[in-house]
Structure 1
Amino acid sequence: MKTSLDLNWTGNMSFETEMNGHKVVLDADPSVGGENKGIRPKPLMLLALAGCTGMDVVSILKKMRVELEDFNVTVESNMTEEHPKHYDKMHVIYTFKGKNLPKDKIEKAVSLSEEKYCGVSEVYKKAMELTTEIRIEE
């Protein structure tokens, strides 16, 4: 399956595109010539990982009939100091809230996402260290 994206320059350091009917604006920090009109490109990598695995986990847990009160995915990253600056490590923290949550099913859902379903995780594992933490709160 082939996919493409058109990113249009809107002046200075700003670009925009439309994805799935939603406008996305990218821009740089004013310290490097941007106007802070949009998000930075590299942090989108964290969002892509959190969104991909988060949606997987929610879908899998629904099929397992696990009811969550709240769910959060945090991605912590480390960026290199030298150019080209890039992430060399990401740590994913899954925080689940609810009553009597089954730890085994939650661990299975996270594992299935990371090992079988999340394409973002699959690519990132080839490029950097990717670690996981699961937190369950009542």
Structure 2
Amino acid sequence: MKQTLNTSWNGNMQFDALVSGHHVIMDARAEVGGQDAGPRPKELMLASLAGCTGMDVISILKKMRVEPKTFNIRIEAELTEEHPKHYSGMHLIYEFSGDGLDEEKLRKAIDLSQDRYCGVSVVYRKAMPITYEIRIMENE
């Protein structure tokens, strides 16, 4: 299945990508000629990974009849110093809260996402190591 995406230059360092009918404005910081009107493209790589695996995990947990009260994914990424600057590794921190959460079920859902379902993760793992941890937060 072929997919296409159009990205238009809006002037200066700003670009507008039309993604699934939604405009995603990307821009650079002012010190490099942008107006800071949107996220940087590399940061969107992190958002893509978090969104992809997050949707998988929630879908799998629902099938397991596990409903977290809250779910958050933080990503710590190592950026190289030399050009072209790129991520050399990513560490995902899956944070859950809720009553009676079974860590083994959470781990199974994450492993299924990482190993079988999340296409973003599969591609990124070909370029760098990706690790993760699970944190079960106390209910407030």
* TM-score > 0.5, shorter chain as reference: yes
**Residue 18 of structure 1: CA displacement?**
1.7
In the alignment, structure 1 segments of 5+ residues that lack a partner are none
Aligned ranges for residues 1-138 of structure 1 at < 5 Å? Answer: 1-138=1-138
**Residue 94 of structure 1: CA displacement?**
0.3
**Residue 17 of structure 1: CA displacement?**
2.1
> 2:137 & 2:37 partners in 1: Cα distance?
37
> 1:36 & 1:104 partners in 2: Cα distance?
42
RMSD: 0.8
Runs of 4+ in 1 over 3 A off after TM superposition: none
Aligned residues: 138
Q: Which amino acid aligns with 1:87?
A: Y
Instruction: Give the TM-score taking structure 2 as reference length.
Output: 0.96
Q: Which amino acid aligns with 1:112?
A: L
Q: Which amino acid aligns with 1:122?
A: V
State, as a whole percentage, how many aligned pairs show the same letter: 58
Instruction: Give the TM-score taking structure 1 as reference length.
Output: 0.97
In the alignment, structure 2 segments of 5+ residues that lack a partner are none
What SS class does the counterpart of residue 66 from structure 2 fall into? coil
**Residue 67 of structure 1: CA displacement?**
1.4
